[in-house]
Amino acid sequence: MSEIKTIGVVGAGTMGNGIAQLAAQMGANVIMRDIKDDFVQRGLKAIDKFLSKGVERGKVTPEQKAAVLGRVIGTTDMGELAKCDFIIEAVIEDLDLKKQVFSELDSICKPETILATNTSSMSITLIAAATKRQDKVVGMHFFNPVPLMRLVEIIHGYNTSDETVKITTELAQKMGKETVEVKVDSPGFIVNRLMIPHMIEAVKLLEEGVATREDIDKALKLGLNYPMGPFELMDFTGMPWMAFSDTHLGAVEHLVQVAGVARPVSPALTGLPRLAETWLVLYETLHDVLACAKSQDMGHPERLAFIRNLASSALASVEQD
């Protein structure tokens, strides 16, 4: 693949504008697209605001700020992305929407263009199945806030080529990030697969009356040197992002089935305003996952059967609860 000169970002929200900013700071020309001009302008203003704070702190010069902003173009026209060498999708965690986006990008982009998704837990394989370039579809999971968090997870889909992973890893590193390679398209990848079980156990401790949420947070901060306790983190990020997203039944249900993690407890917990909403999202997601698994032909029967059986089992167990 030739040098990456123009990077497209689909979605101008918190993650999208952060990724666009990083790409522009790297020196690439950036086209940031969203469905409404209001969203686009909000994303551009967020980049301006972040860079302005950098100028105030002496970390960015006014000239550098102007140069970065000058390399980012906002648009509502998906067709503008046809000229991009590399595209990163950062829309909301909705499988059907992501598949729609990837299908459209596949139809308008150059054959050599790599399409990356910033999903935090959805199947790269199923997203790639919406395209005719599955070898060039890859997971590129940034963390929030994008300009500050150092890590990017690079995730293989079932058909992702080693060359695609190599190019994506090098791009993330040029953006100033540390990378880890996720070799198997597994729910939750690395970070969320490790983080979610400890959040579940924190909730169990609270429900069982073992300790207050304040003391649970305090114990992990002082005993394990965590910068933030599990409940603080859940409230900071918002539980629905863990929303046990479509396709993968959510990392929680996968870990229940595969890794023996204890099932999450009742959402009737005081002080966790977002948890009940998340549980409803999970229940609806299970139906969507099962329908999706039945309708997809991934060219790999064993993998499809695994997803179907996992979905059926998790759905049955939640309905019994």
How would residue 195 be classed by pLDDT, with cut points 50, 70 and 90? confident
Residues 247 and 274 in one domain: yes
Three-state secondary structure call for residue 15: helix
Measured distance CA(78)–CA(206) in Å, rounded: 47
> Which domain CATH number covers 129?
3.40.50.720
Which domain-ending residue is among 156, 182, 208?
182
192 belongs to the catalytic site: yes
Which of 141, 156, 248, 254 is catalytic? The answer is 141
Residues 273 and 296 in one domain: yes
What domain count does the chain have? 2
Which of 17, 29, 118, 120 is catalytic? The answer is 120
Question: In the beta sheet, which residues pair with residue 74?
Answer: 32
Task: Express each pLDDT in 52-92 by its tens digit.
Answer: 999 999 999 999 999 999 999 999 999 999 999 999 999 98
- Reply yes or no on whether the pLDDT at 201 is more than 50: yes
Q: What is the pTM of this model?
A: 0.76
How would residue 307 be classed by pLDDT, with cut points 50, 70 and 90? low
Which of 153, 156, 245, 253 is catalytic? The answer is 153
156 belongs to the catalytic site: no
The H or E element that residue 70 is part of is: helix 62-70
Return all residues near 223 (Cβ < 8 A) that are at least 6 apart: none
Q: Are 264 and 255 in contact (CB under 8 A)?
A: no
Task: Express each pLDDT in 13-57 by its tens digit.
Answer: 999 999 999 999 999 999 999 999 999 999 999 999 999 999 999
153 belongs to the catalytic site: yes
Sheet holding 86-89, edge to edge: 72-75, 29-33, 6-10, 86-89, 114-117, 137-142, 151-155, 178-182
Residues 150 and 239 in one domain: no
How close are the terminal C-alpha atoms of the chain, in Å? 51
Measured distance CA(256)–CA(24) in Å, rounded: 41
Domain encompassing residue 136: 6-182
Which of 29, 159, 192, 245 is catalytic? The answer is 192
pLDDT at 218: 97
User: Residue 14: inside a domain, yes or no?
Assistant: yes
141 belongs to the catalytic site: yes
Task: Express each pLDDT in 232-270 by its tens digit.
Answer: 988 876 554 444 333 334 445 444 444 444 444 444 344
Residues 57 and 198 in one domain: no
